[in-house]
Structure 1
């Protein structure tokens, strides 16, 4: 178990980054976390449905996609944030040869803005350094402005890959993304 706190934007073991009445413990995933993690994944899916105004995202049982993700990356690469024995966040790390990708980082809606995500970021950075990775990356959906702001504020400011596609169903997209003098929709 890893108990952490933020001090000068650095984790300090044994301290909480919340007030002392609400310590956050960071630890690896256990089988007992499956139900709670599925619920967090569902929250993420529901947010994506709202962002894109598409109720079909995630299908009828979005929680099952957590199971598939867990199988893909392995239980050893899932971190949990808990408070008072309750799961309040999860972070997965996809491990590559030179790159580690954060996928996903989900904080319970009621706990956002309290520093749990920063604690996860410090863990991800340390894990990447421990594995001698060249890059730590994340791939939030383009309309998830709160995620983009969070990751940018936490040092992820270099763009490496851009995914472009053509919507063959001609849905409505937002204007306002500019890259290399190109106006793009998102």
Structure 2
């Protein structure tokens, strides 16, 4: 079984930041020097989504995405938090209601709140337990399996990569 090493992950996220810098897309590399898995990338975006609990009005939300390496699972993990315009954070239940891409039966298995692997603070997180299954086909075929994985899972949480990122997977 092929797996993604921490060195591979670091190379992949550095590639993402290099492309982002050229596109001015907002991904930034962060590093906590004291941890083996201390490199991660961050991107903030504003999006307008309907919030059912607030009526039928659309709300401006601020998403902060983090892609870090989870040592326990040996895979990248997509963590994020979402804030309303008034600065209040969206709860996991509010996010589920605003996001029709999750089915009720698998919400807790797919999206959970857990500690960020580097920052050790609660974030909404696409649960890493099935990430290896999603990534496995990309590990041997993609030049950047993190981009390939993000292009599959990102849309579930309103994170979409432009074509320029996907091009690096096969070039």
Name the TM-score, length of structure 1 as normaliser: 0.26
Q: Decide which structure has the larger Cα Rg and report it.
A: 1
Q: Which has the higher contact order (CA 8 A, sep 6+)?
A: 2
Q: Give the helix-richer structure, 1 or 2.
A: 2
